[in-house]
């Protein structure tokens, strides 16, 4: 299978006006799916269904990039792990700069695309009034974002008034001070901050577990 780059330089769409077209997909003369292609003023969208009962896979073209819609948000083509035919064929419908594809045209524009052993034939073409929301890209939030939020929930904002080593010099009993020259005001501030964190620890962990769908919730 010949791959496609995630970014296509100076990419051009199949149709220059807002349109909706439908395409059949075959491979070796055998049906391999159907595609609905929407071209709008703000982007292009391809909806692929391998069989009538298969889930729809949505590819988006925006700012010369290709995105794939997944649960929780959109990912760039290079990060898409789907094993179906869509990754082999849809980029050629979104942009015409795919060198792996051969384009055949009629009076209305591109009517057939041969790419990676698949044949895509246009069956209908009509003007479209699809809302711009159909082409909006909403990138998926990464694990790093969730971890950053968890860090904020659990650790709280940085406090320059609390010594970084105050905890290491703690004496074990809250409020206890020894006549050894230690910075017990810093220790007390750290103890108070830790107490505040502890109160919302369970809530923060539960939220993180829910977002990440991993692990078990913290027992109360």
- Burial call 165-198: b when 16+ CB within 10 Å, e when fewer: ebeeebeeeeeeeeeeeeebebbbbbbebeeeee
- Residue 149 and residue 50 share a domain: no
pLDDT higher than threshold 70 for residue 46: yes
pLDDT tens digits for range 72-129? 999 999 999 988 899 999 999 999 876 779 999 999 999 999 999 999 999 999 999 9
From 94, 116, 135, the end of a domain falls on 135
* Rg (alpha carbons) of the chain, rounded to whole number: 27
Q: Encoding tokens for residue 120? A: 């895509």
* Any domain includes 4: no
Domain containing 197 equals 143-212
* Any domain includes 60: yes
- Residue 173 and residue 87 share a domain: no
- Residue 206 and residue 112 share a domain: no
From 108, 135, 162, the end of a domain falls on 135
Give the confidence band of 52 by pLDDT, cuts at 50, 70, 90. Answer: very high
Give the confidence band of 4 by pLDDT, cuts at 50, 70, 90. Answer: very low
Give the confidence band of 216 by pLDDT, cuts at 50, 70, 90. Answer: low
Residue 54's nearest CA partner among 32, 70, 72 is 32
Residue whose entry in the numeric block shows the structure tokens 């073209």 = 61
* Any domain includes 40: yes
State the chain's mean pLDDT as an integer: 76
* Any domain includes 38: yes
Phi and psi angles of residue 31, each rounded to the nearest 5 degrees, phi first = -60, 135
| Cβ count within 10 A of residue 98 | 22
From 135, 159, 185, the end of a domain falls on 135
What pTM, to 2 d.p., does this model score? 0.61
Contacts of 119 (CB under 8 A, 6+ apart): 25, 26, 27, 112, 113
DSSP code per residue over 61-81: EETTEEEEEETTEEEEGGG--
- Residue 98 and residue 49 share a domain: yes
Pairwise CA distance, residues 69 & 67, whole Å? 7
- Residue 81 and residue 45 share a domain: yes
Angle, alpha carbons 47-40-83 (nearest 5°): 25
pLDDT tens digits for range 186-212? 656 666 666 665 555 566 556 655 655
- Residue 114 and residue 157 share a domain: no
Pairwise CA distance, residues 50 & 212, whole Å? 30
pLDDT tens digits for range 133-150? 999 999 998 644 554 555
Q: Encoding tokens for residue 217? A: 């919730």
pLDDT score at 84: 87
- Residue 162 and residue 63 share a domain: no
pLDDT higher than threshold 60 for residue 183: no
Count structural domains, the chain: 2
- Residue 24 and residue 98 share a domain: yes
């Amino acid at each position: 299978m010949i791959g496609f780059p995630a970014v296509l330089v100076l990419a051009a769409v199949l149709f220059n006006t807002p349109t909706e077209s439908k395409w059949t997909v075959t491979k070796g003369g055998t049906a391999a799916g159907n595609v609905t292609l929407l071209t709008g003023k703000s982007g292009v969208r391809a909806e692929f269904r391998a069989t009538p009962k298969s889930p729809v896979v949505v590819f988006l073209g925006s700012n010369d990039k290709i995105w794939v819609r997944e649960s929780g948000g959109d990912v760039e083509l290079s990060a898409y792990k789907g094993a179906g035919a869509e990754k082999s064929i849809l980029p050629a419908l979104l942009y015409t700069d795919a060198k792996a594809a051969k384009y055949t045209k009629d009076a209305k524009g591109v009517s057939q695309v041969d790419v990676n052993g698949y044949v895509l034939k246009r069956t209908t073409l009509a003007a479209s009034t699809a809302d711009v929301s159909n082409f909006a890209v909403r990138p998926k939030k990464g694990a790093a974002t969730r971890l950053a939020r968890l860090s904020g929930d659990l650790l709280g904002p940085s406090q320059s008034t609390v010594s970084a080593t105050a905890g290491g010099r703690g004496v074990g009993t809250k409020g206890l001070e020894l006549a050894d020259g230690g910075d017990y005001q810093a220790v007390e501030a750290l103890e108070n901050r830790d107490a505040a964190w502890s109160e919302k620890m369970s809530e923060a962990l539960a939220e993180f577990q829910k977002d990440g769908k991993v692990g078990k919730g913290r027992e109360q």
